[in-house]
Structure 1
């Protein structure tokens, strides 16, 4: 069962509009990108890649915060227990 399947099961229990579901999927994707960028930064050792790693993590964090704000604006409560990872 992949992450999309898990989210689909959760959506069966709570009714969301299509727009809300899109935001939730985007939020989860952004969270995964942020986590991936953070791991990359932890393991990068090439000086030329350190700046890239920093920018990548900052961009991923900004994307996550954007979707988190959008979720709150649409009345979506984010329960961190259900954030997959």
Structure 2
């Protein structure tokens, strides 16, 4: 299972941490100041996490497709989900948000 942690980098290198509901607590004691995220940044974070979930689900569905037409459908769906995830990830990086994925 993978845990996802989103950080917003502050002007002094401090960060605010938002975690998905299944993430383990690994709070950095060095981060003394926490930046508040804007509504837009929250929406971007939600979009990144949702797009990732859809991409993972599309990958699982692709792995279980057993008909040629279903395989074609799942290939297109997988590519669309991957493109959507890449778009929101790029948008998050442009806003100064970073996505750290930790293997548990």
| TM-score, normalization by structure 2 | 0.64
Q: Which has the higher contact order (CA 8 A, sep 6+)?
A: 2
Query: Which ranges in structure 1 are unaligned for 5 or more consecutive residues?
Result: 8-12
RMSD of aligned alpha carbons: 2.4
Query: Which ranges in structure 2 are unaligned for 5 or more consecutive residues?
Result: 1-19, 23-33
1:7-26 equivalences in 2 (<5 Å): 15-26=36-47
- Stretches of 4+ moved more than 3 A in 1? none
Equivalent in the alignment of 1:10? none
Of Structure 1 and Structure 2, which has the larger fraction of its residues in strand? 2
Q: Determine which structure has more spread, i.e. the larger CA radius of gyration.
A: 2
| TM-score, normalization by structure 1 | 0.78
Equivalent in the alignment of 2:60? 39
Paired residue total: 75
Of Structure 1 and Structure 2, which has the larger fraction of its residues in helix? 1
